[in-house]
Amino acid sequence: MQNVRPGGVALSRAVFLVPAGLAMLAGLDAALLLVGVGAPVRSDRIADLHGMLMVAGFLGTLIAMERAVALRHPLGFVAPGLLGLGAIALLSPAPVVLGQLLLVDGSIAFVAVYAALWRRNRDDVVAVEMLGAVHLTIASILWLRADVPWLMPWLVGFLVLTICAERVELARLAMPSTGGRTLVLHAAALTLGLVLTLAWPDAGARASGLVIASIVIWLVRHDVARRTIRATGLPRFSAAALLGGYVWLLLAALVWLFAGAQTEGALYDVVVHAVMLGFAISMVMAHAPIILPAVLKRPLPYRSVMWIPLALMHVGLAVRVVAGDLAGQRTAWQVGSVTNIVALLLFFVVAAGSSIVGLGAARPRGTAAPTATSTPPAASPATSTATSTATSTATSTGIRSPS
């Protein structure tokens, strides 16, 4: 069988990530509109789509892509493909319902990917991740009839279960033998709490907040980030991003626990962005140097400059929440919001630059780019070295590589 060149693999997989990138850019444009500052594209439609573009179109497609790679079956790419198409349809002149239906289909396909992974290895972690995809499916279906604030708890459930399950998988050696069972019980309790929000929003939100706070405390106790924060380089960067994410998730959980359901106002803004930015995007930054190379077959070496967007993200969010939402200073709220947008864009610019420089460094000096007649990738010393380095780094940072 003819070997597939890494360049061909990278290109074919990158096609699936283009819609995710467009969803992110449109979502950030919508964020500028929502905070009342200048935006490149002014559209009421985009502003209304902000939440679903960022969670389902951007993060959903990224996570589905990573799981499709782990499945190692062509049908696995149906999920990120449909989620990406849903985001594109939402941005097109087509009726919004077309994009909504594609997101529903993509979410169902995402559940099917996890079901296939679970049949391969009946693991508690995979079962919880599959439940997280079910949460995304429920949110997508509810969006056909309800506004985003009313389905936001299910989007939170999707991100919390998906990300926390991955952290549990990576902390197995530090956890008791009942760790998987504990995770499943937390996931079931959170799902029950979210179901309660459909009929009794305050009671459901308080119950969900209690469960999420319990998950965070339990995870921090066992996560390797508590040790690697004292290391250097990528392990320390990843640990800082992980621990910072846990802090923001705990804050959101406490707001739900003590204030109940939030569908508008300052506390709603705190919950949404503590989870979506402080928690989820911090986790993206922590995992990107390992996950993206495994997915795209392109190096993404750690650079110390990555600390800048990470710090900007957390500082901007703190300004938004403390001075903006809680103190009621609109200017501070806008400054913090714009800082978050700059941080996210800057991180991907830094990541792209690091990948380009890393690709050049991985190629021995004086050699040309691989061609159809070049040595197969498996026999390339540079490729072998990169694979070994990635494996070592994944172990030291506590980040799973899907390849």
Q: Assess contact for 175 and 225: CB atoms under 8 A.
A: no
> How much is the CA Rg of the chain, to the nearest whole Å?
21
Largest CA distance in the chain: 67
Calpha distance 285→307 (Å, rounded): 10
Kindly report, residue by residue over 197-223, the tens digit of the pLDDT. 999 999 999 999 999 999 999 999 988
* Mean pLDDT of all residues belonging to the chain: 85
Structure tokens at 383: 């490729």
Calpha distance 354→303 (Å, rounded): 7
Confidence tier at 42 by pLDDT (50, 70, 90): confident
| Confidence (pLDDT) at 400 | 54
Q: Is residue 382 pLDDT above 90, yes or no?
A: no
DSSP H helices in 78-147: 78-91, 96-120, 124-142
Amino acid code (one letter) for 171: A
| Confidence (pLDDT) at 373 | 34
% of residues, the chain, pLDDT over 90: 63
Q: Assess contact for 31 and 341: CB atoms under 8 A.
A: yes
Under DSSP, the state recorded for 4 is P
